[in-house]
């Protein structure tokens, strides 16, 4: 039994010395004991090789909107009841065909990302002729782009975007955020949507 304990202790000491520890025999109250002392270890050099990651403009656009809406938090609900990273309302989700509970939606980043892509594609179909006509033109010193139009539609709905493009009528949401803020802030992204 003592032989096994001695082997275990010696093995432990060898492992500790490999890891940079040394043992030291010290005297405490006239008793000899073994203590562990840390000694400097050679530092290893690591070379980090950057991996090329393809990030497309649609991802950058979604990240920008998510950051603006919720600081990219999937679990947040604002004072008006808008939910998740992109601050979806229950009515918008229902209109897109999502019949899920608040908790199901908040607990699923996948569902939120899919809903946002579905909303962008849906709004693009509704606003395509406006995008084709207005892309690159200016209204009241605001340069109009596809990504700006789709961001504004996310904020205000496609009807209010059409009204702005036809009549120049400004829209504000419950927080006082103007449609033109989204038109300019999210302008110039090249989107790859169906």
pLDDT of residue 153: 97
- pLDDT at res. 84: 97
* Residues 138, 139, 141: CA angle, nearest 5 degrees: 75
Q: What is the pLDDT along the chain (194 residues), one digit of tens a residue?
A: 555 544 554 455 545 454 554 544 444 445 554 544 445 555 545 444 444 444 466 789 999 999 999 999 999 999 999 999 999 999 999 999 999 999 999 999 999 999 999 999 999 999 999 999 999 999 888 899 999 999 999 999 999 999 999 998 899 998 899 999 999 999 999 888 86
The interaxial angle of helices 158-167 and 109-134, nearest 10 deg, is 20
Same domain, yes or no, for 174 and 92? Answer: yes
The residue segments making up the domain with residue 33 are: 2-38
Under a CB-based contact definition with an 8 Å cutoff, are residues 183 and 151 in contact?
A: yes
pLDDT of amino acid 185: 94
Q: How far is CA 40 from CA 5, 22, 43, 81, in A?
A: 28, 10, 9, 56
Q: 22 and 39 in contact (C-beta within 8 Å)?
A: yes
Looking at residue 71, its pLDDT comes to 96
Statement to judge: residues 148 and 61 lie in one domain = yes
Q: Are residues 61 and 128 in the same domain?
A: yes
Distance CA 30, CA 57 (A): 73
d(CA 58, CA 70): 18
How many other CB atoms sit within 10 Å of the CB of residue 37?
Answer: 10
In a domain, 160, yes or no: yes
Domain with 115 in it: what CATH number?
1.10.530.10
In terms of C-beta density within 10 A (0-12 exposed, 13-18 middle, 19 or more buried), how is residue 42 classed? exposed
Specify whether 82 is located in the same domain as 156.
yes
Single pTM value for the model: 0.70
Tell me, yes or no, whether 16 and 79 share the same domain.
Answer: no
> For position 6, what pLDDT does the model report?
43
In a domain, 191, yes or no: no
């Amino acid at each position: 039994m003592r032989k096994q304990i001695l082997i275990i202790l010696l093995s432990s000491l060898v492992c500790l010395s490999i890891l940079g520890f040394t043992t030291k025999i010290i005297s405490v109250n006239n008793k000899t004991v073994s203590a562990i002392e840390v000694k400097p270890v050679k530092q290893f050099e690591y070379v980090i090789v950057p991996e090329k990651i393809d990030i497309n403009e649609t991802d950058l656009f979604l990240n920008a909107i998510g950051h603006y809406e919720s600081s990219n938090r999937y679990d947040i609900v604002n004072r008006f009841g808008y939910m998740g990273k992109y601050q979806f309302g229950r009515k918008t989700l229902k209109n897109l065909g999502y019949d899920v509970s608040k908790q199901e939606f908040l607990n699923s980043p996948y569902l939120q990302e899919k809903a946002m892509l579905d909303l962008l594609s849906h709004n693009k179909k509704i606003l395509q002729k406006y995008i084709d006509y207005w892309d690159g033109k200016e209204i009241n010193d605001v340069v109009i782009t596809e990504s700006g139009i789709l961001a504004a539609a996310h904020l205000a709905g496609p009807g209010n975007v059409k009204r702005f493009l036809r009549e120049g009528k400004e829209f504000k949401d419950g927080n006082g955020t103007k449609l033109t803020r989204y038109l300019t802030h999210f302008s110039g992204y090249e989107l790859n949507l169906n």
